[in-house]
């Protein structure tokens, strides 16, 4: 299972989204109680706007352990994905509430800070997005956190900070 999770993440990073999704589905069929790496699968479903699959994954993970940050991050993704259909939550307040719950449960969960940064970017809160991406980056330096930092800094007109983040991200590339 662990190896299949790494393969699914690698396929996602290489933009082989169909393969990545297939591998995540295989992991879930082998071990339906696995929580590790499901935030990455959830993000894949979120980017593909697959509300039904994301809803099912969210419910499954919250049923397994509702005190695990992953379930609440998935709930945030689902609310954000569904936002366009739900006029009562057009501000994305449910998504913000759930991502904050994920961070409260696990303050070292970098993926929650990354998604929080994405939420802030989508709402035009670029300063808050920068803070969230810096927090994620301080926990775990990933291409996603650097990408968020570059995007947020560019939207604020901070090209020097964006360039620094872009240059630092190159250190994560395989040699």
- Return the structure tokens found at 143: 């291409």
pLDDT given for residue 76 in this prediction? 97
pLDDT given for residue 84 in this prediction? 62
List of residues 6+ apart from 166 with CB closer than 8 A: 146, 150
Q: Are 151 and 121 in contact (CB under 8 A)?
A: yes
- Return the structure tokens found at 55: 């809803």
Task: Give me the mean pLDDT over the 84-102 stretch.
Answer: 77
- Return the structure tokens found at 49: 């706007």
Find, among 65, 68, 5, the residue nearest to 31 by Cα: 5
pLDDT given for residue 173 in this prediction? 75
Q: Flag whether the pTM goes above 0.85.
A: yes
- Tens of pLDDT along 42-77? 999 999 999 999 999 999 999 999 999 999 999 999
């Amino acid at each position: 299972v662990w190896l299949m999770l790494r393969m699914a993440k690698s396929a996602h990073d290489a933009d082989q989204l169909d393969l990545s999704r297939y591998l995540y589905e295989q992991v879930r069929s082998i071990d339906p109680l696995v929580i590790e790496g499901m935030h990455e699968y959830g993000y894949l479903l979120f980017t593909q706007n697959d509300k039904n699959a994301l809803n099912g994954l969210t419910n499954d993970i919250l049923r397994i352990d509702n005190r695990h940050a992953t379930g609440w991050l998935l709930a945030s993704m689902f609310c954000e994905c569904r936002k366009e259909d739900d006029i009562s939550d057009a501000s994305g307040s449910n998504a913000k509430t759930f991502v904050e719950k994920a961070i409260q449960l696990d303050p070292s969960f970098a993926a929650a800070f990354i998604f929080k940064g994405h939420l802030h970017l989508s709402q035009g809160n670029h300063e808050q997005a920068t803070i969230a991406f810096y927090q994620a980056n301080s926990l775990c330096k990933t291409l996603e956190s650097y990408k968020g930092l570059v995007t947020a800094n560019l939207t604020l007109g901070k090209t020097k900070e964006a360039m620094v983040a872009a240059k630092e991200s190159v250190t994560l590339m395989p040699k």
